[in-house]
Amino acid sequence: MKAMIRLLVMLAIAAGPIAAQTLDLKSYRIVDLTHAFNAKTLYWPTSTSKFALDRLAYGPAAGGYFYSANSLSTPEHGGTHLDAPLHFAEKGRGADAIPLEQLIAPAVVIDVTAQAAASRDYRLTREDVLAFEKKHGQIGAGTVVLVRTGWSRFWPEAKAYLGDDTPGDASKLSFPSYGEEAARLLVEERQVGVLGIDTASTDYGKSTDFRVHRIAAARNVPGLENLTNLDQLPPRGAMVIALPMKIEGGSGGPLRAVALVPR
């Protein structure tokens, strides 16, 4: 795992044509794990603002060439985004301070689509993680753990995705995610680097104490929320690159996440 991380980091900083040819992208499928940001992007119901893209210019410039520019506004937490540890830990890392090695790392995908289909309030259990490890091997330190619930099929329909679409009210939400004991196993025992999910939160919809967020933030483990296309990843073998907007002191931010899957 460390060797794979070093390879990608070296590619990012190395100079010269030989180094640039070290990684042959033709050997990988590149999977986009990100929902596009637009007027339909979903945010937490209590958010007082949403995504806005205001046109500043579009058309011929005075010099005769085409020119386009926009003004962008969005809360940190909405759409496909990263939760920095600072989101739930006063002394946690901000979005700009998360080590790149933590955001560019091998991934595992734990599939709970069957359980989530049976109960939209399903929470990943410790037993689910152990069953995954029995079949695919123990999850290593620094791994990006992605939980696939199948929920991205509901995007961007708020009622289906969140369980409720009442503006300003987050008390009736219903969607699956991590459970507390599974989070403790992954974060505290396995020392994983990131928790990710294809729902709106690493805590399930009915949560009122956000235990999973707090467990992860206490160990400086960020979260990736509202991911998509997890069905295109294998249980093991993919490399995830999850780079948020680098907001100094930010509690999170919009995210472009992709996965490299060996062909």
Residue 89 has pLDDT above 70, yes or no: yes
Whether 21 shows a pLDDT value over 80: the answer reads no
Closest CA to 71 of 52, 50, 49, 47: 52
Q: Region 243-263: what's the mean pLDDT?
A: 98
pLDDT tens digits along 156-175: 999 999 999 999 999 999 99
Q: Where are the domains of the chain?
A: 25-47+76-262
- C-alpha dihedral over 86, 88, 90, 93, to 10 degrees? -20
Beta-bridge partner residues of 40: none
Is 189 strand, coil or helix?
Answer: helix
- Residue 27: CB partners within 8 Å, gap ≥ 6? 262, 263
pLDDT at residue 1 is higher than 70: no
Ramachandran area for residue 42 (φ above 0: left; ψ -120 to 50: alpha; else beta): beta
Mind listing the pLDDT tens digit for each residue in 113-142? Answer: 999 999 999 999 999 999 999 999 999 999
Percent of the chain whose pLDDT exceeds 90: 90
User: What amino acid positions are annotated as catalytic residues?
Assistant: 87
Model-level pTM greater than 0.85? yes
Confidence band (pLDDT; 50, 70, 90) for 3? low
Q: Specify the pairing of strand 252-262 against strand 236-244.
A: antiparallel
Tracing tokens 């046109």 back to the chain, one arrives at 55
- For residue range 236-245, list pLDDT tens digits in order: 999 999 999 9
Virtual torsion, Cα 158, 162, 163, 168, nearest 10 deg? -80
| pLDDT band at residue 225 using 50, 70 and 90 as cut-offs | very high
CATH architecture designation of domain 25-47+76-262: 3-Layer(bba) Sandwich (3.50)
